[in-house]
Every structure is written in C-alpha cells, then in structure tokens.
Structure 1
Amino acid sequence: MIRFAVVGTNWITESFIDAGQKLEDFSLHAVYSRTEEKAKEFAKKYQVETIYTDLSELAKSNQIDAVYIASPNSFHAKQAITLMEHGKHVLCEKPIASNTKELEAMIQTAKENQVLLMEAMKTTFFPTFESIKRNINKIGKIRRYFASSCKYSSRYDKYKEGIVLNTFNPIFSNGALMDMGIYCIYPAVTLFGEPISVKANSVFLESGVDGEGSLLLQYEDMDAVIMYSKITESSIPSEIHGENGRIVIDKIHDIEKAEIHYLDGTIEDITVPQEKNNMYYEINEFMNLIKNHQLESTVNSYEHSMITAQIIEKARKEVGLIYPADKENGI
C-alpha cells in the first residue's frame, strides 16, 4: 500500500483522489491545506482523519510515502523540495515549476534523497497517445505538428468583473502559457525532442499574465505550430502532418480520439478505450515506479520536463512575461 498525502484542496485534487482510488495499492492518508478549516472540510469528504497545516510536519511524518502537489504553480518548488528532503516521493502538477532554476533544484533534491519526482502531465500516459506514438511511422516523414489548446476559463468572468483570482495572478506564476500552452508543448517534446529555436507571441491582460498566445518551434526538418488561450474557446483539432498523411487528435489537452487520414482518403481509427477519469494513467505510472524502486519516469522524464520548461522560459522572455519567482531566482 502506498500512503498518499495531497497538497491542495481544489477540483483537480478531487479528480486525483477519484482516479487513485481505482488502483488497488492507493491509500489517501492525509490532507494538507494552509487553513485548518479547509483541510478538515476536504478530509471529511474522504473519511481521512489526518490533516496538516504545516508542510514541515507533513514532510516529517513517517506515515506518508508519497505526496501529490496541486497548489499554485509558484509554491511547487519549495513544497516539493521540503517534502523530498524528508524522503517523500512527489507527483507535482504541471507546470512542475515556475522556471528552469526551480526545476534544476527540484531534480537535484530528488537525486540526493533517492526519491521519485514526476511531473503530472497526464496526456502523455493516455493509451491513445501511446497509440499515436506506435502509429506515427505510418504517415511518413513528419513535417509539421499543430496543436491547439484554447479553453475559456470560467474565472475570466470574475476577472472582467474586477476580481483577479489565482488563475490570472502573476504572483502565482500563472497564465495561459503555463496552464494551457504546456498541454501542446509537452507532447511535442515527448515526440520530437528539443527544438532548434522558439518564437512566441502573447496577448497580455492588465494583471500582468498572458490571456492567450502562440508559439513556433523550429526543428531540423519540421516545425511545431502551437496556439493556446484561457480567454477564448476553440474546437479546432490538433494534427501531426506527415508526407503520407496526417494524424488528427480531437483535443490535445484531453485526448479521447485519434485518426490517421491517409493521402488516398482512407481513415484509420487508432483510438484506444480509456478510463473515464484519465488521471488514472499518470497515477498508475507513478505508483508502479515506486513499487519497482525506479526513481524516474521514462515518459515524463527529467529531460522532457526540463526541455518543456526551457521552451516556456524562452517564450516568456521573448514576450516579456516575468513572474516574481523569476526575480527570486535571478532569471
């Protein structure tokens, strides 16, 4: 049995617990929140008796094996490092850190303490994404990757009313690139590796974060065109273009369907049935790694997380998107 604690009490944490409870060796043992009231309220939903409002006390507990972090982005690095220094395995929500300096420190801490650190980018573990990787050779030489992740945030309505929630607050290292753009970038890195160059454009909000934007990643003989948003909605599918056809992906941030469209007009459905709560697959990977005494995922690896973080950082520098966490780390 792997005894989990969760850091954060929002909807994504609820989804994590729901998915985790489908796995035989998953046990929710403790809840952390900065306020006792929230911790108690959340823990009560899951009949959990142990709560923490002091992260160092959670880190010191010998009743916890692993921690899922779903706090605001700017807290990820400090919380993960504190937990790993006390021997806890950490599954950290995407983006794993505010910048590359934080991620370097997190990876170093994981290695020094012989614990597992993994970024919770769920889509790269989906059976249908695995099917895309298996079948990508069928479309011939790849020439373009196009990905769109544009979803209107319900919190934007509050923003327009003058209420700036965490989602649109630069203090928390937030915005469209960090929240939605990463869903396009990480799969590109997993499939094609590190690009030669990064070009970026962003539409800024008055709060100091980006509401939407676009990226152009240049590779040796292909490019990746990416668009993302939290202030507009799009149903445009994502595609991988090859010289013999293209792979059409319904939603890159929540993949449910994938098809190969060949040049002769034939279509091959390469979709694989998936769990309704698709966080199941990343949790399963994380738990299997712990049980097999492996300290790094080959899918959501340190290299993939670092290249993704580097792309995001280059894009932010180009458009002038700076967070307080950058200044703290001398970036």
Structure 2
Amino acid sequence: MNRIKYNWATLGVGVIGHQLADAMHQLGGNLYAVGNRTHEKAVKFAQEYGIEKVYDDPEEMFMDPNVDVIYISTPHNTHIQYLRQALSHGKHVLCEKSITLNSEELSEAVELAQKNHVVLAEAMTIYHMPIYRKLNAIKDSLGPLRLIQMNFGSYKDYNMKNRFFNKNLAGGAMLDIGVYALSFVRWFMQSCPDQIQSQVKFAPTGVDEQAGILLMNKEQEMATVILSLHAKQPKRGTIVFDKGYVTMYDYPRGDKAVITYTEDGHEETIEAGHTTDALSYEVLDMERAIDGDDQMHLDYTIDVMQMMTKIRQDWHLTYPEEE
C-alpha cells in the first residue's frame, strides 16, 4: 500500500479511532493529533499510539494550521456541529457514518465544503473495499440488475440507556446499520430509488428497533432491506442479475463474493482486498480525493441520506436536534 502524506487528526477515540490509528501505522505513518470531548481519554489514546499532539479543547483541532484532514467518529448527533467548525476552517473531513442526521444537515455541510474548497466524505467502507470495485467492473457481464436483498441484524443488549436505543444519542437501526444496507443498494443500482415503502417496530425509547424496507428506482430495479438491533441475522447481501446472482456475507467490510450462474447453477468465487485493511482503503482514497482523484462517492452519500430522511419522515421519527 501507499504511504500517507497528509497530517491527520482524529476527533473521537472509540473503536473507530483505534482502528484508524492502527491503519496509520500500517501505512507507515501515524496520526498527527487527537481530540476528544473527554481530555483524559485523548491523553490515554495519544500515549497508546505515540501521538504527540493532544488538544485540550476539540476546537483547537479545527484552528491548528498543521492539520490537513480530520476524521470525525463521535456520535451521529454531534457530527454537524463539528462539520461546521472543521469545514469553515478549511479542513478536509472524513466523517463516520451516518455523516449527519438528515438531508438538511448534509446539504449545509456540502455547501460549506464547496465554499471552502475542501473534501467532505462519509467513511462508508463499502465504497472503498476492492471487492466492490471488482464486482462493479464485471457486473455488466451478468446482464440487467433485477433485485437486491439485504439483511443486517444485530443482537444488542436490550438496555434503553445504551447508544443503540438512546434517542438522545441518535440511536436506532436506520442510522447505525441501515446506512450500510442502503449504501450497498445504491452502489449497484443505476439510480437512486424514488419509490420507498417501509414498516417499523419501535423500541420503548421511540427509536427504530426493527424495519423492513422496499425500494424501486426509475429503471425498476428493486431492493428489500431487513434491519434489526435485537434479532441476529447474517450480514448478507444478494444482488440478482439476469444471468446470475452474487452473494456477499459480512458485506460492510467484505472481501469475497460468490457468483451463482442462472443457466447451470455453477459457482464462481471472486476475491479482492482484505477485511482487515478497511480503514487503510478509506484513508488512501481520501488522500487521492484531496489530490483531485475523487474516490469518495459523496453523490451516493447524498442519495442514501435522502432515502433515510424520507423513511424516518414516514415513521414520524425525529431526534431532539430536529425538533
């Protein structure tokens, strides 16, 4: 892999922050700096990874002239406030999914990025794993796309105070795992679905615990999505073409797909990339985008956010920041 050449800072020291730091080391470098709402956690993180720069206040990160790129991995509902500050100070931003709560917030962030001539992108691993680019290159040989079937189910502790079910932390299946399924759908469809129907089961806190979604675009390509935060099911994506169907397991960071051909049922295994390198692919694509080779698919991010916003509107599900 290539080496990093920009100064990266991470805002947030959770699981993704640790994976980002590991990816930086894999790429032969290190994070330039770290910030966190709890300063003590940022100091501990810096000591663990040998990071010299720690900010007493996250705002200092946005004002540091030596910072080129900021990776934001704080809770969903804090993203827009940090995006406003980072983009306004001319920082490139790679933001953890879901990039914002809704389309209105995302439109504001996109406008700020354009105004300040910086790259804004969502850290949607599906857009950067080599397997998806390889499938994109061969899908035409399988004929027209007919259907996509998506499953994503986790069995989370049924504690209404944890972030998955906490409305004050923008909990719920849609923003946490639905964004993966819809990004997968958008990657393979010719255009964004414009017909959407859904059903939802709410958790006691009022966030979406489980959902079923039907989608169709103007080309009449169709998709089904089944989500749950309290029912384990395989992270499986099935893309059905005229001449065969493609099956992917553990698809957010997948590195292998199986094609089953319609005519005789024989199977072909396609492999590309490595699951463990997911963050490295994102980092390198972000740097390429900064250099002018746009690999971040912000247009798909905008489409997915429009779908999620429409679905939540149909459910009358809002978060405190939206009320």
Q: TM-score under structure 1 normalisation?
A: 0.91
Give the 3-state SS of the residue equivalent to 2:251 in structure 1.
coil
Structure 2 partner of 1:173 = 170
CA distance in 1, matches of 2:240, 2:288: 34
Q: Which of 28, 38, 42 is the aligned partner of 2:41?
A: 38
Structure 2 partner of 1:189 = 186
Amino acid aligned to 2:306: Q
Amino acid aligned to 2:270: I
Q: Which of 208, 218, 236 is the aligned partner of 1:210?
A: 208
Q: Does 1:147 align with 2:146?
A: no
Identity of aligned residues (%): 27
Give the 3-state SS of the residue equivalent to 1:98 in structure 2.
coil
Amino acid aligned to 2:13: T
Structure 2 partner of 1:276 = 276
Structure 1 partner of 2:140 = 137
Which stretch of the first structure deviates more once superposed, 88-97 or 211-220?
211-220
CA distance in 1, matches of 2:40, 2:58: 16
The 5 Å alignment of 1:86-101 reads: 86-101=89-104
CA distance in 2, matches of 1:273, 1:108: 34
Asked if 1 retains the 8 angstrom alpha-carbon contact of 2:21 and 2:30, the reply is no
Q: TM-score under structure 2 normalisation?
A: 0.93
The 5 Å alignment of 1:1-331 reads: 1-24=5-28, 26-153=29-156, 156-157=157-158, 159=159, 164-192=161-189, 193-219=191-217, 220-235=219-234, 237-263=236-262, 264-274=264-274, 276-290=276-290, 292-293=291-292, 297-298=294-295, 300-327=296-323
CA distance in 2, matches of 1:322, 1:234: 27
Asked if 1 retains the 8 angstrom alpha-carbon contact of 2:260 and 2:267, the reply is yes
Unaligned runs of 5+ in 2: none
CA distance in 2, matches of 1:55, 1:236: 35
Shift of 1:81: 1.6
CA distance in 2, matches of 1:248, 1:181: 18
Give the 3-state SS of the residue equivalent to 2:42 in structure 1.
helix
Amino acid aligned to 2:240: H
CA distance in 2, matches of 1:232, 1:256: 25
Q: Deviations over 1:141-172 (max 9, x none)?
A: 2110111111223xx24x0xxx5022221222
Shift of 1:55: 2.5
Asked if 1 retains the 8 angstrom alpha-carbon contact of 2:129 and 2:273, the reply is no
Give the 3-state SS of the residue equivalent to 1:308 in structure 2.
helix
Divergent runs of 4+, >3 A: none
By relative contact order (CA 8 Å, sep 6+), the higher-ranking structure is 1
Q: Deviations over 1:1-53 (max 9, x none)?
A: 311111111111101111122224x4311111112211111111112232124
Q: Aligned pairs, how many?
A: 316
Shift of 1:281: 0.8
RMSD: 1.6
